[in-house]
A = this chain, B = another copy of it.
């Protein structure tokens, strides 16, 4: 009593069943080269002895662990949680498990995590959001483990596989919705411009929309936040309180957009009659507030799923026709803009 359970190994099963380890290994791995009767016998003693294959030993011998590493900024963000779900579903479908790591977008942590994942001999790595620096590239290229980027891309190493959407174009189109509505004073609720994944490209799209349509970029209508609801709320309140405040907001994500929407309401302005708001991502929150938030619908689940599927191809040496995929987005115009309906991209 109290002592460790005896672990039964493939060798024990072999002895009991009166066959060799190799044969047991074959039936465990579904190798067809086993006489049905032998298979039956082995299966029976496996069941009887409660044998459970040791995946670590298998991993060492076969050099495949059937687990993939996933480095993600923060699983508690709806956006990434949904992405992770897409990843895990496909991983599961192909019999992989995922080791999930939150990086908080900190470079040092990312590097350390990637290193740890490589030590654990993951068969592949999915790297989400966060800038790919030379140090990342160095680790990536120092090993044969396939790496695919999801919801981001490497601006420098041009052939690194990725799955994402066209952030700039989407941001531009979202801003243009506001322009088409007749707004002339359009505020930006942005993220850090140092964020090459969200903050910067979506800012670029906003900028392009204004300039292409004959507007000038007004610093005073731009506020950079941290993607959270509160930062959108606060920034919008400030802007709305100024003399010549914006009459519409493009927020680079839905949380901040929701904050802006409520800021307007809290100040007694009606949305969308007086103030229009458009967000980005289409997380559940967008359809859980009133008025319903107009937004750019990003296929979050699909980004994760497609990226994972691509990774499986690398891991199994399947032919790869396209290793960089740009998924489509939609403009989902609900009730926080006067323009409404679903606009195909």
Contact = CB atoms under 8 A, between A and B. Distances in A.
Interface of A: 4-5, 50, 52-57, 59-60, 65, 67, 74-76, 78, 81-82, 84-85, 88-89, 92, 97-102, 115-121, 142-144, 229, 255, 258-259, 262, 265-266, 284-285, 287-290
Nearest to A57: B60
B288 A144 contact: no
Contacts of A284: 229
A50 B97 contact: no
Copies of this chain assembled into the complex: 2
Nearest to A91: B101
Q: Which residue, A67, A81, A288, has most C-beta atoms of chain B within 10 A?
A: A288
Contacts of A258: 288
B142 A5 contact: yes
A100 B100 CA distance: 6
A120 B101 contact: no
Contacts of A89: 102
Q: Which residue, A53, A97, A101, has most C-beta atoms of chain B within 10 A?
A: A97
A331 to B, nearest CB: 22
B78 A97 contact: no
Contacts of A229: 284, 287-288
A67 B255 contact: no
A75 B75 contact: yes
A99 B53 contact: no
Given A52-B119, A121-B54, A288-B255, A143 B85 contact: no
